[in-house]
Structure 1
Amino acid sequence: MSNSNDLILKIDNLHTQFDLGRRVVKAVNGVSFSVKKGRTLGIVGESGCGKSVTAHSILQLLPKLGSITGGSITYYKDQEEIVLSRLKKNGKAIRSIRGKEIGMIFQDPMASLNPVYTIGNQLCENLLQHERVSRKQAMEKAVEMMTVLGISKPAFRMKDYPHQFSGGMKQRVMIAMAMMCNPRVLIADEPTTALDVTIQAQILELMKEVQSQFGTSIILITHNMGIVADMADDIAVMYMGRIVEFGSVRQVLGSPQHPYTQALLKSVPVLGIGRNERLQTIRGNTPDPSERLEGCEFAPRCDFATAPCTIVPPETILADGHRVRCWNCRGGIA
């Protein structure tokens, strides 16, 4: 397949599973999407839908029990096509891409930073591993990144340990670590988790500034539809390991076609809601991923489920890249 000039990452029919002995959990089940240069893709869905596993699959950061069992992940570097899904988990090839070409902001900065090393040591580690620079040059780069991300007295704070930073400051450090080598792709896994609203806004604004300055492509993983509306260019809605709807922000948020997307949007709190008005919820619970249902996985919770929903729906291409996996959409109900 020829490489499009603006394409940087392509996931095609990805399958990732966890072998738990008697149970096999198919966490990602046939996911396909692409990321373009300088654009932001938002991946949304409830907890357990496969968002984070998809991100970890890209960088081969799966635990021992996890493995990619099908499909491909292709990274486009200049004129070269690198199939990441074929690389060994801890091999030299994938380690040369992690952090340097594709950076990642992990979900929990409290757990991702090593408590026994200074912030400066942890910031410099990635740069020293991937670039031919001296430790002094690495420290200067780290101070520069901390300055860009709004950390006061960066040269002094480099000597501090993670416990001396607030949650918001730790998240800034995580972004700085991910950006030390100016990666072409940045994966942000729930970057505003456990942060208050004011700090959330600051972190998101910082990510926009970083993207504008370096032309970075961003994969933003979140369950917050408001963040996606503000940050993303394109949206992938995931449920039970599948992408059920994909399109631009205007398409998915302005004209949602899948019942699950519609339900997610209706469950978002609205400012000014009446005291006697109840928030809408999605009935039922997400099924156990190790127990695959026949047909559409969302059917037991869907208000539009009909007889054809006992068969897995194919993808329907609507217009301009907007695609939906739903039988009712084909019939015009959704």
Structure 2
Amino acid sequence: MSLHTLLNSALHYIFAAVVLLCGLLLSACGELSMYDLLTAEEPGAFAMAQSELNLPPGAEYYVSAVGGFKPYSYILASAGDSGTLDQQTGRYRAPQQAVEARVEGEDRFGSRADTLIRVFDPLRVSPSVISVAAGQSAVLLEVTGGSGQRTLITTITRGSAAWVDPATRETVEYTPPSPADLADPKDRHDQFEIEDQAGNIAAVAVTLYLPEALRFDPEVAAIPADQSITLAVRGTFDTVGFEISPPYDPVTDLDYDDPRLVQFTPNGTAGTAIITVTDLSDAARTATATVHVIDEAAENGALTISPSGGSFRDGTTVEFTASGGVPPYTFERAGPGSGQPIPVGDYRARYTVSFPPGTVQIRLTDLTGQQVTAKLNVTR
């Protein structure tokens, strides 16, 4: 037998021994077969799909992982009352108080990564929808919640917005532009935003009008069917008349002894009321108010989007949940990015982030026009 033949035979036995050893190791891992191993592998190294997450108190979110080898498991690695976690599904429920939590994910072979979760009261500005006469007095708005330092964003603001006290940043003073800036009757809107240190954004939508313009205040509202609302009539006029859309009746459902104040009582009937005021000396001068009459109480708490921010890997599908305000809700992408959120039922929507761009904003709007925005960082 030649030396070459002996070497080939030896290599054959060594290879067979290696295969046998691998088989024994796989058997020692329980029911893990070579097929299981190959199908469990995910593209790329193991990582959490979200490295940071901002949630309001009491919110839920399913954290997830990518890469490595399935199945994944999750543990709540932070101490104290930092919420609850389902170790198999990754469902995290935030506590009712502000806290920082850390969820650690692990793949089949022990690779680990984590997600930092910040729980805090949502950033809010009240009121978030206002109507202001051009050239008249400034309006004060209260800012609450959020995380860290707050910043005013006024890059496209036609009027001016400034902190009353830059040290506390709890009140914003908005000053409308002059009537000369409202030459275009179709362009009567203004806006500004407040952003906190965690990237949460609260927007203020402003409707501008000329001081003499006939109008209602408020122009949009929501009330329970068993309550009433009083609308103020602004502008200059001598005498006015009022109408209301069916199924409501101007005789039984409207009370306007004072022409500058009209009370609407829906008398238990849910629907949408369009109330019209007309200047009787000039029929071309009219204004409308929309009142949404709903079965449940209108005071549902402040409008909130969850998550309100965070950092997500390219290709991650984020599920947003709406609460508070007055449903129904509308989710939409605001600014750079691709695609739009896909509604999932009445209170949720899913959006798959992509890179570029490095950030994306998802805006939530309720029936009355209130808006809140979630700002997400997108990483590769």
Q: Greater RCO between the two (CA within 8 Å, min separation 6)?
A: 1
How high is the TM-score relative to the length of structure 2?
A: 0.27
- Structure with higher helix content: 1
- Structure with higher strand content: 2
Larger gyration radius, structure 1 or structure 2 = 2
